[in-house]
Amino acid sequence: MIVSYRWLGEMVDFDAGPDRLAADLTNCGVVAEVIESGSSDALLELELTTNRPDCLGHRGVAREIATLYGKTLRSRRVELSECRPSTSSQASVEIESPRQCRRYSARLIRGVRVGPSPDWLSQRLDSLDIRPINNIVDATNYVLMECGHPTHAFDLSRIDAARIVVREARNGECLVTLDGVEHRLKEGMLLIAQLIQELAGGEILQGPIDNYPGVLQRPPVLLRRSRLARLLGLEIDGDEVERILNSLQFRVLDSGAEGWTVGLPTSRMDVEREIDLVEEIARHHGYGNLPSTLPAWQGGAQRRQDYRVEKTVTERLLHLGYSQTLTHPLVDAREDLKFGSKPGISVLNPLSSETGVMRTSLLPGLLASLSWNYNRGIRSLKVFEIGKVYGWVQPQQSGEQSRVGLLVTGNLEEKTVHGAAEAYSLFDLKGDIETLLEPSTLGKEEVRFEACDKLDSHWSSVAAGQIRLGDAELGSFGKLDSGICADHKIGQPVFAAEIELSQLHPLWRSEPRARQIPRFPAIQRDLSIVVDGDVSYGDIESAVRDTQIQELHSIFPFDLYQGGRLPHGKKGISIRLVYQRLDRTLLEEDANRFDQAVLASLRDRFGAQLRG
Amino acid sequence: MLEKLAALKQSFDADLAEARSGQQLSLLRDRYLGRKGGRLTLLMKGLKSVAVADRKEVGRSLNQFKARIETAMETARQRIESESIRQESARVTLDLTLPGKRRALGHLHPLTRVRRDIEEIFYSIGYSVADGPEIETTYYNFEALNIPQDHPARDQGDTFYLSESLLLRTHTSPVQIRTMERMRPPLRIICPGTVYRRDTPDATHSPVFQQVEGLAVDEHLTFRDFKGTMEYFLKAFYSEGTRVRFRPSYFGFTEPSAEVDISCTFCSGDGCRVCKRTGWIEVLGAGMVDPEVFRHVGIDSERYTGFAFGVGIERFAMIKYGVDNIQHFYQNDLRFLRQF
Ligand SMILES: [Zn+2]
């Protein structure tokens, strides 16, 4: 909506210049910006909220200005000289749908001469971006710009049986509803008749046709002093309240100790409750003039349910060098299906087929982020995303789970003067996951990484596995299927993991308990053994732990070899065992005894031989 | 003879300790093992004069000492050599301007940074942080918030639907409703989360974005408390010097409603392109909770009042970090992310 500064000045006397006016209107809720400023006039563009159609005409804006500056809105005197016969004897108006059109008024002007408008009118319309057409059309537009009310001029000879029928729209026709504009309508009718006569001559027939089947009853509203003060946190002077209400053309019907009884004008259909009146007072008293304080609070505050898990995961991954990405949960159905067996929840009205389902995995998004960077020359990447995945739990019942997804590719170390390049391997990722999940025990349960033959097909069939904690499945990890990577034109190994956040809650639920730091030295022993090639390190470790040696502090493999002088199908593995007691220094004999027990267990379990 | 040998051993140890270079070492060799006049050589030549009974014993001692000298000299030679190599190489190649072996640091996504900052500020003044589902019912997303059946926001063109009654929430307000149903006032919550609107992506619109909505309900909350809380929040988030402006506006679930502006962070309020020369930037919409919303959740609006506000996390991040396009947040270009 564009308004003319000069036109507004004709309706209300005020001193503010265009910029000041725009700022003051903005501060009372009618956002205005000066878009053109010249010597004779300035134009303001208004950005109106949907509750304020009353400001679609200059008169409504002028009412705000009058209230803002404590001025009087000039009313327009319209006097018509009518002649016989009466309008209603020559034409009729029928309203078929009073719900959409409460009221329709018409007048007849006979003998008009259609021609160009005078300069003052065509220039005024032109400056408001409305193209002047002829005196009749221009008159209707002028009235629209003044009252904010649409009026139409019809050629009576072209109207069937001189009868106007207002009906519901058919076949997508647009019907202007006249809700909430009765006041402007009355004003507009008088004005248009006078203006047409002034511009195009002719004579105005007697009386309007005023078809008003949907008469509105708007009971007055009580605005309580106590309520006003309680909501605004300030007692506003009673005279000021009345001044604002009257100036906005609300009628203060009664004022007493309790408050004011206020009649509601049809020009302001958005106001119908006490709270609406409170807003009118606040608006014109000025939000900026109301005090501000920080309220006291007796209650406590709670963190989000996922707060601790999210914080721990994020902190650790940042330290490990992963950068956080965020992607849209709306993804391509076909792409998503590559990362799981169940189809995701479809959107009925997607923006495009590429954003048609709710993701069931974070990996497509991580891969898309990789692809974006890869195509821009960034070949080494370490990223994570924390986000939700979605699915139907039952028909009509959806489920949402938070996960963390990890993705690494390229080089762990680039070539530098200090050393050669080193590519990421599956065990770099596994190490990161182990660090991420520390302390990786829950009671007697430990985080385990296991091969699994029912992994989804987006994982490499030879280099991927499951992450478990007791019976719970935390997620999966490994090398992504090279075919899926090739779809994104990525020709290097990509390693990824996806873990359910809710499963991690128990890992970090309790605060750490400090234990005594050993005061007596530990004994470290290295054992090199030879076992069958299919015995895993995990098997060896559990065989060692099964000896139940209380003094066994840690066990770690540090060498692994095959071939050479070893017989075919055998492998050599060297493990470092650390023994320690909290209450005394261990003796060499103790350590020898433990070594023997460990060896015996390995020999029994796997036929392990000590290597010379 | 054996006393002489003992003295010789002592003086050798002292001499060896003094030796600092290869040259000094060869002088030392000459002094003890030189063919003519070497001190041990002389001693060995004197072996003939030792009594026959002792000769074997003394000879063995002399030989042992000779062998000891040889190994000690060799060890010393190696030590001196490697030391000089180290000193030499240090003088030539130590270049402290070479880059160190860096470990890449991970970067927190700017939207997470902003969300955390907002959560921390409100947590510190007693707001609990609440969560809720992104897939919502039409009731919680619209009806309970005073948004009527024929409101344009409910249109298929504006909201993503999953079924007749399920949709992707268009704001986090449903979390507020769910909280008000579950808990009686007084309450203070903020609800951060992902929301969805069916907007075609451009520089300022994204069909998926993040929001934080807040709500405070108590017996004596007024517009004054609302203003104070918003000012505290915005100054804490942007800077202490930020000026805050409240303008009347219109939202379905608040009344009186306000659009809240801050003094432009790019020009400090002098006027620039970003703030369209007004010196102000619009940052959030808010207001006093509409009594109608209280009625929906069964809270007595005569007894309780409250205020609510909604913050676009992307918008806050764009203003705080000077990001000119909302799409940057979801492209995950590392060159962009590494700046945070
Ligand atoms: Zn600026």
CATH architecture of A307-508: 2-Layer Sandwich (3.30)
Kindly state the tokens that stand for B320: 């705080």
* Rounded-to-integer distance, Cα A66 and Cα A11, Å: 9
Interface of A with B in 278-307 (CB under 8 A): 278-279, 282-283, 287-288, 290-295, 297-307
Would you call B263 an interface residue with chain A, using a CB distance cutoff of 8 Å? no
The helix/strand/coil state of A135 is: helix
Q: State residue A203's pLDDT score.
A: 83
Q: What angle do CA B334, B336, B339 make, to 5 degrees?
A: 105
Q: State residue B313's pLDDT score.
A: 97
CB proximity list for B152: less than 8 A, separation 6 or greater: B158
Mean per-residue pLDDT, B38-45: 81
Residues in chain A predicted with pLDDT less than 70, given as ranges, are 100, 167-190, 612
Place of tokens 């749908």: A97
Q: State residue A176's pLDDT score.
A: 39
B294-299, long-range: CB within 8 Å, 24+ apart, which pairs? B294/B217, B296/B143, B296/B144, B296/B145, B296/B146, B296/B177, B297/B144, B297/B177, B297/B180, B297/B181, B298/B181, B299/B180, B299/B184, B299/B185, B299/B217
The helix/strand/coil state of B248 is: strand
Would you say A77 and A68 are in contact if contact means Cβ atoms under 8 Å apart?
no
- What residues of chain B lie within 8 A of the CB of A415, using their CB? none
Q: Where are the beta strands (DSSP E) in A167-294?
A: 203-206, 209-211, 221-224, 251-255, 259-263
Would you call B117 an interface residue with chain A, using a CB distance cutoff of 8 Å? no
Q: Tens digit of pLDDT for each residue in A268-296?
A: 989 999 999 999 999 999 999 999 999 99
Would you say A199 and A77 are in contact if contact means Cβ atoms under 8 Å apart?
no
Would you call A388 an interface residue with chain B, using a CB distance cutoff of 8 Å? yes
Which of B211, B253, B332 should we substitute to test contact with A (largest number of A Cβ atoms within 10 Å)?
A: B332
Fold of A82-211: Phenylalanyl-tRNA Synthetase; Chain B, domain 3 (3.50.40)
Q: Indicate whether B168 pLDDT > 70.
A: yes
CB proximity list for A160: less than 8 A, separation 6 or greater: none
Q: State residue A286's pLDDT score.
A: 95
List residues bridging with B11 in a β-sheet: none
Q: Which of B316, A38, A37, A58 is nearest to A46 (CA)?
A: A58
* Rounded-to-integer distance, Cα A449 and Cα A464, Å: 9
CB proximity list for A535: less than 8 A, separation 6 or greater: A571, A606, A608
Would you say A539 and A605 are in contact if contact means Cβ atoms under 8 Å apart?
yes
- A523-610 belongs to which homologous superfamily? Ferrodoxin-fold anticodon-binding domain (3.30.70.380)
Interface of A with B in 165-184 (CB under 8 A): none
The helix/strand/coil state of A93 is: strand
- What residues of chain A lie within 8 A of the CB of B157, using their CB? 349
In chain A, % of residues over pLDDT 70: 96
Query: Where are the CATH 3.30.56.10 domain residues in chain A?
Result: 2-69, 221-287
Would you call A329 an interface residue with chain B, using a CB distance cutoff of 8 Å? yes
Helix (H) or strand (E) holding A108: none
ipTM: 0.87
Q: Cis peptide leading into B133, omega within 30 of 0? A: no
Would you say A286 and A293 are in contact if contact means Cβ atoms under 8 Å apart?
no
Would you say A477 and A449 are in contact if contact means Cβ atoms under 8 Å apart?
yes
- What residues of chain A lie within 8 A of the CB of B198, using their CB? 349, 351
Domain ranges of chain B: 2-91, 110-337
User: Inter-chain contact A321–B103, Cβ cutoff 8 Å?
Assistant: yes
The highest-confidence range among A425-434, B12-21, B262-271, by mean pLDDT, is A425-434
CA distance B212 to chain A (A): 13
User: Inter-chain contact B126–A299, Cβ cutoff 8 Å?
Assistant: yes
Q: How far is the CA of B266 from the centre of ligand 1 (A)?
A: 5
CA distance B129 to chain A (A): 5
Q: Tens digit of pLDDT for each residue in A511-567?
A: 888 888 889 999 999 999 999 999 999 999 999 999 999 999 999 999 999 888 888
* Rounded-to-integer distance, Cα B43 and Cα B47, Å: 7
Which of B96, B119, B135, B245 should we substitute to test contact with A (largest number of A Cβ atoms within 10 Å)?
A: B135
Closest partner residue to A390 (CB to CB) among B135, B186, B333 is B135
Would you say A213 and A104 are in contact if contact means Cβ atoms under 8 Å apart?
no
Helix (H) or strand (E) holding A70: none
User: Inter-chain contact A293–B163, Cβ cutoff 8 Å?
Assistant: no
* Rounded-to-integer distance, Cα A484 and Cα A536, Å: 30
Would you call A35 an interface residue with chain B, using a CB distance cutoff of 8 Å? no
Would you call B232 an interface residue with chain A, using a CB distance cutoff of 8 Å? yes
Q: Indicate whether B188 pLDDT > 90.
A: yes
Question: If 0-12 CB within 10 Å is exposed, 13-18 middle and 19+ buried, where does residue A566 land?
Answer: middle
Q: Tens digit of pLDDT for each residue in B129-154?
A: 999 999 999 999 998 887 888 888 88
CA distance A73 to chain B (A): 22
CATH architecture of A2-69: 2-Layer Sandwich (3.30)
Q: Distances from the Cα of B46 to the Cαs of A249, B33, B55, B70, B130, in angstroms? A: 137, 14, 10, 21, 100
Would you call B231 an interface residue with chain A, using a CB distance cutoff of 8 Å? yes
User: Inter-chain contact A345–B135, Cβ cutoff 8 Å?
Assistant: yes
Give residue B262's Cα distance to chain centre: 28
Predicted structure pTM score: 0.83
Would you call A29 an interface residue with chain B, using a CB distance cutoff of 8 Å? yes
What residue of B is the nearest CA neighbor of A232?
A: B223
Q: Name the DSSP class of A433.
A: H
Fold of A221-287: Phenylalanyl-tRNA Synthetase; Chain B, domain 1 (3.30.56)
* Rounded-to-integer distance, Cα A145 and Cα A128, Å: 9
User: Inter-chain contact B131–A373, Cβ cutoff 8 Å?
Assistant: no
* Rounded-to-integer distance, Cα B21 and Cα B77, Å: 8
* Rounded-to-integer distance, Cα A32 and Cα A60, Å: 14
Q: Tens digit of pLDDT for each residue in A176-195?
A: 333 334 445 566 666 777 77
Kindly state the tokens that stand for A147: 């009252």
Q: Which of A189, A169, A171, A166 is nearest to A76 (CA)?
A: A189
User: Inter-chain contact B207–A351, Cβ cutoff 8 Å?
Assistant: yes
List helix spans (H) across chain B: 2-18, 22-33, 39-45, 52-93, 110-124, 138-141, 173-182, 223-237, 291-296, 313-321, 328-331, 334-337
User: Inter-chain contact B255–A400, Cβ cutoff 8 Å?
Assistant: no
Q: Distances from the Cα of A15 to the Cαs of A59, A62, A64, A431, B17, in angstroms? A: 18, 13, 14, 74, 102
Q: Which residues surround ligand 1, an ion (CB under 5 A)?
A: B 264, 266-267, 272, 274-275
CB proximity list for A366: less than 8 A, separation 6 or greater: A325, A327, A383, A384, A385, A405, A406, A407, A496
* Rounded-to-integer distance, Cα B42 and Cα A296, Å: 102
* Rounded-to-integer distance, Cα A366 and Cα A408, Å: 10
* Rounded-to-integer distance, Cα B217 and Cα B104, Å: 46
Q: Which of B179, B232, B112, B214 is nearest to A313 (CA)?
A: B112
CA distance B63 to chain A (A): 38
Amino acid letter, residue A332: D
Q: State residue B101's pLDDT score.
A: 87
CA distance A432 to chain B (A): 13
* Rounded-to-integer distance, Cα A43 and Cα A143, Å: 18
Q: State residue A10's pLDDT score.
A: 94
Q: How far is the CA of B281 from the centre of ligand 1 (A)?
A: 8
User: Inter-chain contact A302–B128, Cβ cutoff 8 Å?
Assistant: yes
Assign 3-state DSSP to chain B and report helix, strand, coil percentages, each to 5. 45, 20, 35
Q: Name the DSSP class of A343.
A: -
What residue of A is the nearest CA neighbor of B109?
A: A324
- What residues of chain A lie within 8 A of the CB of B93, using their CB? none
CA distance A24 to chain B (A): 10
Would you call B184 an interface residue with chain A, using a CB distance cutoff of 8 Å? no
User: Inter-chain contact A376–B333, Cβ cutoff 8 Å?
Assistant: yes
Would you say A572 and A532 are in contact if contact means Cβ atoms under 8 Å apart?
no
Interface of A with B in 549-578 (CB under 8 A): none
CATH architecture of B110-337: 2-Layer Sandwich (3.30)
Q: Name the DSSP class of A419.
A: B
Interface of A with B in 357-386 (CB under 8 A): 358, 369, 372-373, 376, 378, 381-384
Q: Distances from the Cα of B164 to the Cαs of A99, B33, B168, B173, in angstroms? A: 28, 106, 12, 20
CB proximity list for A243: less than 8 A, separation 6 or greater: A70
- What residues of chain A lie within 8 A of the CB of B338, using their CB? 323
Would you call B257 an interface residue with chain A, using a CB distance cutoff of 8 Å? yes
User: Inter-chain contact B162–A349, Cβ cutoff 8 Å?
Assistant: no
Would you say A594 and A554 are in contact if contact means Cβ atoms under 8 Å apart?
no
- What residues of chain B lie within 8 A of the CB of A319, using their CB? 105-106
Interface of A with B in 112-151 (CB under 8 A): none
What residue of A is the nearest CA neighbor of B292?
A: A275
* Pairs across A and B, CB distance < 8 A: 228
Q: Distances from the Cα of B110 to the Cαs of A171, A286, B116, B337, in angstroms? A: 49, 36, 10, 7
DSSP strand pairing (A445-450 vs A459-469)? antiparallel
Which of B109, B253, B281 should we substitute to test contact with A (largest number of A Cβ atoms within 10 Å)?
A: B109
B33-44 burial: b if 16+ Cβ within 10 Å, else e: beeeebbbeebb
